[in-house]
């Protein structure tokens, strides 16, 4: 009898334990955060499936509080939250006060004047950059970029068969007027322009609308701009050769803002603007030969504040990959930049330039600026 009572208690207990074990197994399977596929647990895969929006891209109404500028940076899962950029640039360099001179055709009525301009073309260059994000600093990022653009341009003017007077811009000795019939061959000019630039940005990307993000930034900039100009021709069997150079370095604060308007499946229109005010040192010197007389312009140092303006507008596309562990972005843009007071060479020539009456020129103008513009192709990878 006692054995029967014990068995009657044991059997229900076993049944209840089995049921509870089976139920616990079902709950465990249901709450398993990892899906059956892929077989290995990948928290980034689950996170990418469950998040309400892709950070850095368009969002739906009500996804975020409207009163808070929520972060819009690219958000990588289980990565270094670091990114690299590489750009191919194809830019034209335009510089003030590099024209060769003006030709006065005084044998026709009415008299005609032709400006002998210095020709330019587009040249290739590149940019490379590196950036990282700060989790503990409200999603700010730090970015540094190096830009390199070096070019040599050549221009020539052929006066053969023309009657008139050539008035030179670049002249240091004697008169600056030359009869075209006494010029042998062509008038040649060349310019070498080297730009090496480093920019540092501390910025933060945030939403200001469903499809619009902004990234204001502040930082610093430094660059080296080395320019030289040479002009030569033969007049009355005598060589005229003038060489000037303006080497400068600059450093100072820089700030600006970037914007993205995401309009369809990762495609976006973007704009970018920056302004720098830089302490600059210009070293100007030169040498040459005119009228069988050689000369040297002793180096002169000019310290100024140089302003630099940068504008860019373009089209881009980006996307997350591999459960948000990687992000890739491609863009094409038109970019323009201005660098003030890069050409003191022409001013030196103007200070000594003489008119036909032998008087020192009084129409001194400010130093010339440099303008860069053209195509920029950029690739960015976040990891």
Residue 53 has a pLDDT of: 73
Residue 135: DSSP 8-state: G
- Res. 47 pLDDT band, cuts 50 70 90: low
d(CA 111, CA 159): 17
d(CA 229, CA 96): 12
- 23 backbone dihedrals φ, ψ, rounded to 5°: -65, -40
Q: Is the pLDDT of residue 24 over 50?
A: no
Provide the number of structural domains found in the chain.
Answer: 1
Q: What value does the mean pLDDT take over residues 336-354?
A: 83
Q: What's the predicted TM-score (pTM) here? A: 0.80
Residue 67 has a pLDDT of: 58
Sign of CA dihedral 321, 322, 324, 328: negative
Contact 232, 271 (CB under 8 A): no
Q: Is the pLDDT of residue 162 over 70?
A: yes
Q: What value does the mean pLDDT take over residues 138-161?
A: 94
Q: Per-residue pLDDT tens for 281-339?
A: 999 999 999 888 899 999 999 999 999 999 999 999 999 998 888 999 999 999 999 99
Q: Per-residue pLDDT tens for 53-89?
A: 777 777 776 677 765 688 888 888 888 889 999 999 9
d(CA 234, CA 91): 33
Structure tokens at 69: 């500028």
Residue 36 has a pLDDT of: 45
The answer as to whether 198 is a domain residue is yes
Q: Per-residue pLDDT tens for 228-282?
A: 999 999 998 889 999 999 999 999 999 999 999 999 989 999 999 999 999 999 9
Q: Which helix (H) or strand (E) holds 123?
A: strand 122-134
Residue 262 has a pLDDT of: 94
Residue 324 has a pLDDT of: 85
The answer as to whether 303 is a domain residue is yes
- Res. 171 pLDDT band, cuts 50 70 90: confident
Rounded CA Rg of the chain = 34
With H, G, I as helix, E, B as strand and everything else as coil, classify residue 143: strand
Q: Which of 44, 85, 49 is nearest to 328 (CA)?
A: 85
- Res. 172 pLDDT band, cuts 50 70 90: confident
| Cross-strand partners of 290 | 293
SS (H, E, C) 267-295: EEEEEEEEEEEEEEEEEEEEEEEECCEEE
284 Cβ neighbours under 8 A, 6+ residues apart: 244, 245, 246, 297, 299, 300, 301, 302, 344, 345, 348
In the block, residue with structure tokens 């054995």? 3
Contact 192, 228 (CB under 8 A): yes
d(CA 67, CA 202): 23
CATH code for the domain in which residue 119 is found: 2.40.128
Q: What value does the mean pLDDT take over residues 105-126?
A: 93
Contact 232, 261 (CB under 8 A): no
Q: Per-residue pLDDT tens for 84-103?
A: 999 999 999 999 888 888 99
Q: Which helix (H) or strand (E) holds 260?
A: strand 238-264
The answer as to whether 11 is a domain residue is no
Residue 14 has a pLDDT of: 42
d(CA 131, CA 80): 11
Q: Is the pLDDT of residue 367 over 50?
A: yes
The answer as to whether 19 is a domain residue is no
d(CA 57, CA 291): 68
Residue 289's CB is within 10 A of a number of other CB atoms, namely 17
Contact 121, 92 (CB under 8 A): yes
370 Cβ neighbours under 8 A, 6+ residues apart: 93, 94, 95, 96, 193, 225, 227, 338, 339, 342, 343
The answer as to whether 22 is a domain residue is no
Residue 28 has a pLDDT of: 38
Q: Per-residue pLDDT tens for 197-236?
A: 999 999 999 999 889 999 999 999 999 999 999 999 999 8
Residue 7 has a pLDDT of: 42
**Pairing between β-strand 112-116 and β-strand 267-290 as defined by DSSP bridges:** unpaired
Q: What value does the mean pLDDT take over residues 31-38?
A: 46
Q: Which structural domain, as residue segments, surrounds residue 89?
A: 63-382
Max Cα-Cα span within the chain: 143
The answer as to whether 15 is a domain residue is no
- Res. 358 pLDDT band, cuts 50 70 90: very low
The answer as to whether 216 is a domain residue is yes
The answer as to whether 45 is a domain residue is no
Give the CA angle between residues 17, 19, 21 to the nearest 5°: 70
């Amino acid at each position: 009898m006692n054995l029967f009572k014990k068995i009657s208690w044991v059997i229900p207990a076993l049944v209840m334990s089995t049921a509870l074990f089976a139920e616990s197994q079902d709950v465990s399977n249901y709450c398993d955060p990892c899906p059956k596929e892929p077989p290995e647990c990948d928290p980034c895969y689950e996170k990418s499936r469950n998040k309400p929006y892709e950070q850095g891209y368009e969002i739906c109404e009500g996804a975020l509080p409207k009163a808070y500028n929520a972060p819009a940076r690219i958000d990588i899962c289980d990565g270094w939250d670091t990114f690299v950029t590489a750009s191919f640039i194809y830019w034209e360099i335009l510089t003030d006060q590099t024209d060769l001179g003006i030709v006065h055709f005084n044998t026709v009525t009415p008299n005609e004047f032709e400006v002998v301009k210095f020709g330019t073309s587009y040249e290739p260059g590149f940019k490379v950059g590196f950036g990282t994000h700060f989790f503990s600093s409200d999603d700010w990022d730090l970015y540094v970029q190096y830009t390199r653009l070096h070019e040599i341009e050549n221009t020539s003017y052929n006066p053969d068969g023309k009657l008139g007077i050539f008035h030179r811009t670049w002249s240091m000795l004697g008169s600056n007027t030359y009869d075209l019939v006494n010029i042998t061959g062509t008038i040649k000019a060349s310019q070498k322009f080297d730009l090496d630039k480093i920019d540092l940005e501390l910025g933060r990307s945030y939403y200001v609308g469903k499809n619009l993000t902004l990234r204001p930034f502040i930082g610093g900039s430094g660059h080296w701009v080395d320019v030289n100009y040479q002009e030569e021709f033969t007049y009355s069997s005598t060589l005229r050769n003038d060489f000037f150079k303006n080497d400068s370095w600059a450093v100072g604060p820089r700030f600006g803002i970037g914007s993205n308007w995401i309009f369809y499946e990762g495609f976006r229109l973007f704009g970018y603007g920056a302004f720098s005010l830089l302490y600059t040192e210009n070293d100007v010197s030169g040498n040459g030969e005119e009228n069988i007389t050689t000369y040297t312009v002793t180096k002169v140092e000019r310290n100024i504040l140089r302003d630099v303006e940068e504008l860019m507008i373009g089209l881009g596309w980006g996307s997350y990959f591999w459960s948000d562990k990687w992000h890739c972005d491609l863009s094409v843009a038109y970019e323009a930049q201005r660098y003030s007071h890069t050409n003191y060479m022409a001013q030196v020539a103007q200070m000594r330039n003489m008119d036909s009456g032998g008087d020192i020129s009084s129409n001194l103008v400010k130093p010339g600026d440099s303008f860069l513009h053209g195509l920029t192709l950029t690739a960015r990878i976040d990891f």
